[in-house]
Amino acid sequence: MIQRVFGTALVALWPCIGLAADPACYALDKTGVGAVALDDLVISGAGDITFTYAGFPQVPYEDDCNIEGRRHATCPLDCDGGTIRLIRMEDGLVASFSRRIEAVRFDSVVTAGGAFDAAGQSLVGTYFLRPAPEATCREIAARKPNIALQKGMHFPGVERLENGLSAAGYFTGVPDWTFTTETETALRAAQRDLGFADTGIADRAFMRVLAHYAAYAYGGC
C-alpha cells in the first residue's frame, strides 16, 4: 500500500483533491523503502521543512519548498541537480527528496563538525506526512537555538559562517571558531549584497540565505 501511495501516478490526482483548508502542519507518518532514516520530519502548510536524522534528534535542519495555496510543488536545485517534491493528499502530504545537504549544513549551528558533519550527506527518499497540531512543527523547529554570531565570539558556528562566506567569495582567511574583524568585514559585505541590514551580526535568517547562496560554490557551479 505504501508504494502505491508513493507512486508517480498520484501526481495526476492532485487537481481532483478538494480540501476545505490546508493544514498548518504535517508530521512524519511513514517512510518509503530505501529512504534516509529520519527521527523527525515536519512541513508547514507553507512548505517550511524541518527534519532530524535518525539518532540525532537534537540537530534540526531546515529547508523549504513553497506549496502555500497549491496542491503540489516541485522545487529544483539547479546547481546540484537535486529536487524536492510535495504533493497534498486528502489525508496528508507526500514529500520526495533527492538532494545533497550542503545548502542546509550552515543551519545546524549546534554541530561542531566531525563524524556528523553534513558535508557529503544526502536526504533521499519519499515520506508520507499526516496533518498534525501546529505546536508539533513549532516544537521541533524551536530545538535549534537562535544564536546570533558576532565579533568576539569563539564558537563552532563561526567556522560554518566563515566557510559560507568563503564559498560565496567574501572571506579570504582560514575558517576557524573565532569571529574576528576580518569575519565582520566579510559578513557586512555579504549582508549588503544579499539584501540584509549591515549589522555585522549573523542570525539564523542570514545563515539560511547564505547557505543557499554558497551551495552553488560547493556544487561546483
pLDDT truncated to tens, each residue of the chain (221 aa)? 444 444 443 433 334 444 457 899 999 999 999 999 999 999 999 999 999 888 877 778 878 889 998 999 999 865 556 899 999 999 999 999 998 764 344 444 333 333 334 445 678 999 999 999 999 988 887 876 667 899 999 887 888 899 889 988 899 999 998 999 999 999 999 999 999 999 999 988 888 788 767 655 554 44
Domain that includes residue 193, residue range: 156-218
- Closest Cα to residue 199, out of 209, 184, 221? 184
Residue 79 maps to a domain: yes
Q: How far is Cα 51 from Cα 95, in angstroms, rounded to an integer? A: 12
Determine the pLDDT at residue 171: 94
In a domain, 84, yes or no: yes
Helix, strand, coil percentages in the chain from 3-state DSSP, rounded to 5:
30, 30, 40
Read off the C-alpha cell for 151.
565579533
Taking a C-beta distance cutoff of 8 angstroms, is the pair 67, 89 a contact? no
Number of domains composing the chain: 2
- Considering the domain architecture, whether residues 126 and 160 belong to the same structural domain is answered as no
> 146 in a domain, yes or no?
no
For residues 169 and 68, the answer to whether their CB atoms sit within 8 Å is no
- Examine residue 148 and state whether it is found in any structural domain, yes or no: no
pLDDT at 99: 80
Residues in CB range of 32: below 8 A, 6 or more apart: 2, 3, 6, 125, 126, 127, 128
Residues 169 and 137 in one domain: no
Helix or strand or coil: residue 129?
A: strand
For residues 27 and 77, membership in a common domain is answered with: yes
Q: Which pLDDT value is given to residue 215? A: 59
pLDDT for 95 = 97
Question: What pTM was computed for the model?
Answer: 0.62
C-alpha–C-alpha distance, residues 66 and 44, integer Å:
10
Q: Are 139 and 25 in contact, with CB atoms under 8 Å apart?
A: no
